[in-house]
């Protein structure tokens, strides 16, 4: 299945998805971060044609829009093809389009693979009193199957499944999502704890340094956070900042503290992650975009939201952010694959 993205070449904002045969209006707005008064709120109308591989651009605003330096003209339509540049108004605010195949989100559940959010980070340097050097390897879980109790059924595709398998997968999925609650109790995984929080290393770190700060209080996710939790959030942030300060590489690396808008693991956890993203565990577009789009909500933003609104507002379009094109978080260059992105990142983080 194809998908089309409108990509800001100057990195003003995240790519915008253009659905097939659907009119999308681009102009002066909070979404584009264009504040130029010469740009209309509906400066251009865009309609993607997935079958023909181009986007129809119609100028609606008074001031000129351009495709490859040629004026579109008021109420005129031109084709915008991959590789061409659309300037929204007066040769400013350049955009390109990108068609790509959308990768299916369906993946087989592997019983022996715990969730990728928590694992010991073997690259982590020694910290002083806040960090311990001791850690353990991920645990493998085994299950026994009673073959006599399996009731076989045939799927439409001809594959054999059983009622016992279905129940087993559901049970494992439940255990999988609850993995943080187990890990935070394990002394071998803990790198710091006090009466309010515990810190563990991510079992499958997405960067050289990747910790999780979890409250002892049972808070399931950001959606469960209320104003009463504000002091807990502040303490989590303070501990996260302390981890960064005590890190031996903190002067060479930049860190971010934040939450996934829709986490797949139950129990609230704050990510403290270095921005090198140098890790073999970072393997997919979903991994990258979960930390490098608005899907990753800054700790300070969460605290401010709770202080003002008494809760965290998670927008409905968050899952779509995980499907965005790969884009370097430093220079905003687009890359086609994760290996290309990793090779590119070495220029920024030798």
**Residue 172 scores a pLDDT above 70:** no
What confidence score (pLDDT) does residue 191 get? 94
Same domain, 92 and 185: no
Q: In this structure, what CATH number is given to the domain that contains residue 293? A: 3.30.428.10
Planar angle of CA 324, 303, 249, nearest 5 degrees: 70
Tell me which of 225 and 146 has the higher pLDDT: 225
- Residues ≥6 apart with Cβ < 8 Å to 27: 34, 39, 40, 41, 42, 43, 44, 60, 61, 88, 89
103 band by pLDDT with thresholds 50, 70 and 90: low
What confidence score (pLDDT) does residue 138 get? 36
**Residue 147 scores a pLDDT above 80:** no
Same domain, 206 and 317: yes
Q: Identify the residue whose tokens are 């073999």.
A: 280
Q: How many domains does the chain have?
A: 2
Same domain, 183 and 312: yes
Across 91-101, average pLDDT: 91
Query: In terms of residue numbers, what domain contains 327?
Result: 175-348
Measured distance CA(210)–CA(277) in Å, rounded? 9
Q: Which of 153-167, 200-214, 314-328 has the lowest mean pLDDT?
A: 153-167
331 band by pLDDT with thresholds 50, 70 and 90: very high
Same domain, 193 and 90: no
92 band by pLDDT with thresholds 50, 70 and 90: very high
Same domain, 182 and 62: no
Contact (CB, 8 A) for 338 and 326: yes
**Residue 110, in any domain of the structure:** no
What confidence score (pLDDT) does residue 54 get? 95
pLDDT in tens, 12-60: 888 998 989 999 999 999 889 999 999 999 999 999 999 999 999 999 9
- Strand, coil or helix: what is 176? helix
Residues annotated catalytic, as ranges: 269
């Amino acid at each position: 299945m194809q998908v089309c993205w409108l990509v800001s070449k100057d990195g003003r904002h995240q790519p915008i998805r253009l659905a097939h045969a659907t009119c999308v209006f681009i102009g002066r707005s909070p979404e584009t971060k264009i504040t130029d008064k010469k740009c209309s709120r509906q400066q251009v109308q865009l309609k993607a044609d997935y079958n023909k591989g181009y986007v129809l651009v119609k100028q609606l605003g008074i001031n000129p829009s351009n495709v490859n330096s040629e004026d579109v003209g008021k109420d005129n339509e031109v084709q915008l093809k991959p590789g061409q540049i659309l300037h929204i108004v007066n040769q400013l605010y350049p955009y390109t389009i990108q068609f790509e195949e959308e990768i299916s989100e369906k993946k087989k559940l592997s019983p022996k693979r715990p969730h990728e959010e928590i694992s010991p980070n073997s690259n982590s340097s020694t910290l002083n009193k806040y960090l311990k050097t001791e850690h353990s390897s991920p645990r493998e879980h085994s299950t026994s199957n009673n073959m006599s109790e399996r009731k076989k059924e045939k799927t439409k595709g001809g594959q054999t499944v059983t009622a016992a398998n279905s129940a087993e997968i559901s049970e494992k999925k439940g255990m999988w999502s609850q993995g943080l609650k187990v890990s935070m109790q394990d002394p071998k995984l803990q790198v710091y704890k006090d009466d309010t929080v515990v810190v563990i290393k991510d079992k499958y770190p997405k960067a050289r340094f990747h910790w999780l700060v979890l409250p002892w209080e049972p808070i399931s996710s950001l959606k469960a956070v209320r104003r009463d939790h504000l002091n807990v959030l502040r303490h989590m942030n303070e501990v996260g900042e302390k981890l960064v300060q005590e890190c031996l590489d903190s002067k060479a690396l930049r860190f971010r503290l934040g939450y996934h808008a829709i986490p797949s693991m139950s129990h609230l956890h704050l990510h403290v992650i270095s921005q090198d993203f140098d890790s073999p565990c970072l393997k997919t577009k979903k991994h990258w975009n979960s930390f490098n789009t608005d899907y990753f909500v800054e700790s300070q933003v969460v605290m401010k939201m709770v202080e003002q609104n008494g809760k965290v507002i998670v927008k409905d379009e968050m899952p779509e952010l995980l499907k965005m094109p790969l884009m370097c978080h430093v220079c905003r260059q687009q890359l086609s694959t994760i290996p290309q992105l990793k090779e590119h990142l070495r220029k920024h983080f030798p």
